[in-house]
Amino acid sequence: MRSKRIKLLTSSIFTLIITVFLFGCGQKEDIGIGPVKEEMKLAPVDAALYAKGETIFNTKCITCHKFNSKLVGPPLKDVTKRRRPEWIMNQILNPVEMAQKDKITKELLAQYLVQMTFQDVSQDDARAILEYMRAVDEGKVTPKE
């Protein structure tokens, strides 16, 4: 019996070592999982881009998100101060895989009990939504509540 436990433990440790060797310790949790893999260099908030993002947000996101209070999903106030832009973009563009593999998203799912759905936005649309969130967090625009 003890021999079986030792073999099982040894096998589990071996599998873990191989997994870490082949795949590393996991994705960079700070940027999430998705199409945005490189660090984004952000310029000051762009008014035309955040205006586009506000329109998209009010069409696709406002059903589940507010900035100052919980609706279906978490409140978004200061999200751009808490999360990296790459993570926010990946959350918008790849919410299902993020919920399966990203530590932060798993914690949010456990807390809010609702899986974010993909809203059929392009990477350019997601960038505009991010810019709108930045504008709100910097006080440049007041969101609908």
CA distance readout (Å), 56 to 52, 75, 126, 138: 6, 17, 9, 19
**Per-residue confidence (pLDDT) for residue 20, from 0 to 100:** 38
Query: What CATH number is attached to the domain comprising 133?
Result: 1.10.760.10
- Examine residue 142 and state whether it is found in any structural domain, yes or no: no
Q: Which structural domain, as residue segments, surrounds residue 41?
A: 29-137
Runs of H (alpha helix) within 94-141:
95-101, 103-112, 123-137
- Examine residue 58 and state whether it is found in any structural domain, yes or no: yes
- Examine residue 48 and state whether it is found in any structural domain, yes or no: yes
- Examine residue 1 and state whether it is found in any structural domain, yes or no: no
- Examine residue 67 and state whether it is found in any structural domain, yes or no: yes
- Examine residue 24 and state whether it is found in any structural domain, yes or no: no
Q: What percent of the chain has pLDDT over 70?
A: 80
The string of pLDDT tens digits covering residues 46-91 is 999 999 999 999 999 999 999 999 999 999 999 999 999 999 999 9
**Per-residue confidence (pLDDT) for residue 109, from 0 to 100:** 95
Total domain count, the chain: 1
pLDDT, mean over the chain: 86
- Examine residue 5 and state whether it is found in any structural domain, yes or no: no
Contact 98, 27 (CB under 8 A): no
- Examine residue 144 and state whether it is found in any structural domain, yes or no: no
